[in-house]
Chain A
Amino acid sequence: MLLSLVLHGVIVVITLMSWQWITPLEEPPEPSISARLVSPEAVPPEETTAPPPQPEPDEPAPVEEEQREQQEEEQRRLEQEQERQRREEAEREEQERLEQQRREQQAAAEERERQAREEEAARERAEAEAEERARRQAEEERKAREEAERKAEEERQRQEQQRREEEERRRQEEERQRQEEERRRQEEAERQRQERARQQREQQLEQMAREAEEARLAEQRRREQAAAARARETEMQNERARYVSLIGQAIENQWYPPSSAREGMSVVLRLTLLPNGELQSVDVVESSGNRAFDNSAVSAARAIREYPVPDSRDTFERYFRQFTIQFEPEI
């Protein structure tokens, strides 16, 4: 009863408040709309927030006229609005007074009904409370049991979770260790690879160094040999010149040019000697055409028992193993 009364009161209040609020909002003044309609072209739609443009200097009168008419219109409308609001206020006050009377009557009736209902309600409430207590107790017991079960379950789940986590940790640990192991293995492999590469590089460097050293030694040997060869060559040339002179002298001492020998005659003999200077063979390779002249030369070559030849075998082999003698008298 009381509750319904309260509820009604609340409804009335809300209704009143709604009325108060809605009325002024039914016809809100909209001055800005009419103003915009007067000169729609002067204000670009995209510049609505911007300040209104300056009036054109050659058309000032029409704009001011328009504004003044608008203000007068606005004034008339406001006065009409105020008149209407005063009438509505008087009507509303009358209504409220009638309503107040009616509510006071209704409230006396409702108070009686309410007391009856309160008694009934108290009794029902006591029953309900007893019932409620029993139910609550049973509920509490059930809750306690469920709580215990829940906790047991939670504990189990917690343990399970713990176990899984433990398992996961172990697995992760193992994975980590495995990865670590793999990493170490790879690192080791890499280290060994690098070591091998380093050793290989070292070996290569050593090899290169060895080769460079060998090349250097070979070059040195080559230079020394070349120098020795040059020296030997010079020596051989000297020996050659010396023995050419000696052999030439020996031949001169043995050559009896025949009386038919003339200037311009020439016979060329090829001599082959043994290393001890003994004549092995002599051949006429270019005859003079004069047999006696040729013979005299051959005889001279054969007359020498032992040719002066160098002791060094290579000089002998190069120059004196076989050589030619040209007999060309200068008479």
Chain B
Amino acid sequence: MKVGVLVFPGSNCDRDVVYVTQEILGQPTRKIWHRDTDLGDVDVVVIPGGFSYGDYLRCGAIARFSPIMPSVVEHARQGKYVLGICNGFQILTEVGLLPGALVRNRNLHFICDRLPLKVERTDLFWTQHYRSDRPIVLPVAHGEGRYHADAETLAQLEDNGQVLFRYCSATGEVTDEANPNGSLNNIAGICNNAQNVIGMMPHPERASDAIVGGTDGLALFKGILESVAVAR
């Protein structure tokens, strides 16, 4: 599996992703500067977290116009894998690869925490190693992570089974009390209808090495790795 990690001015989780895919999983990984226009032969594009372009105007709004983005859209249209984490999720909604938008947290707090998530779909390659009856815990760090979409879009997401992760209690109940930012339907991560593009506010790359506490994120990267191996 060849991994390309986009780097924008203001990205700050790019090296964390490279560490996971290259050092932990041993996959060839390269960082791709936002001014490049060619993704080369990468199988998976990861758009990492951070504050691309200082989050000016709206989170992800300016990154969406970076020279590399048309290639990312084409990569996705070909059915290849794209993973957007945190700011990467925001960029994916701005560029239209995922529906909805991420707006300021309900309580105005910048949330920096480790939170339980219910995995709604375990039949996707990405999430095949998770169990829906066992919440996972991932780090969350955002000020603008409240998922919003109009009622029709939200209904489509639910009907199509495009919601992958929801904020939940430690025992897996999806409740308003367990919703840290006011996201509609407690949504923490979604995929597109074709299921090759996923976006999530929590950080799986920050929970992939036991030395920093928790490895619940590693299974997501392993899932992608295995799906690419199957496709070959």
Query: Does B bind A?
Result: no
Interface set of B (CB-CB < 8 Å, partner A): none
